Structure 1
Amino acid sequence: MSKYLFKVKLTVDGLHGLLKEGGTARREVVDRMVQSLGGRVESMYWAFGDEDAYVTVDLPSNTSAAAMGLITSAAGGVRTSTVVLLSPDEIDDAVRQKVDYRAPGA
């Protein structure tokens, strides 16, 4: 499984829904959605600031993450931004990769 961070900004419609249903009910919706994609929610936090919520999930693939972002944004209640999270072991693997690259002007 791969790990993703969804940064969520509520639209006006999303804010109305949150006020009507509450945060716990929305968490349950997110849990069901992620499970339907074969994943699990690691954490979900409501926040002050530029984003209204942060959701960390384990999903089977980038395709699953894209589906989640597309479906939730298309519904109109939120706008999402997705960050692929890498473990220290994955970074170690990346560091060991041989890459043929020349910096500009070098």
Structure 2
Amino acid sequence: MGLLASRLGDTLSGHGCFPPHAICSSSTNVFVEGIGSARVGDCASVHCCGPSCHGSSVSSGSSTVYVNGQKMARLTDSIGCGSIIVSANSTVFIGG
């Protein structure tokens, strides 16, 4: 069985003293449970630890399922800053 598909607004873990944050962009024409599906390259919202802030993007995804030519993001896939995807939809599983 695959991993749950990720979408716009799904939660990212945070890392070190940087708090959890969210996926902030997605496909505009492929949906999972009515919400845009997340892909490699979609943004991760800015999060801050004291005066230090950064944004990032989804950096890993399925090796077999693509949305708009990009790998589809799934629960536990990586974010470039060190976070991982920790929430996702509840019904759609993605392989690869």
Structure of greater relative contact order (alpha carbons < 8 Å, 6+ residues apart) = 1
Structure with bigger gyration radius: 1
TM-score past 0.5 threshold: no
Instruction: Give the number of the structure whose residues are more often helix, by fraction.
Output: 1
TM-score normalised according to structure 2 size: 0.29
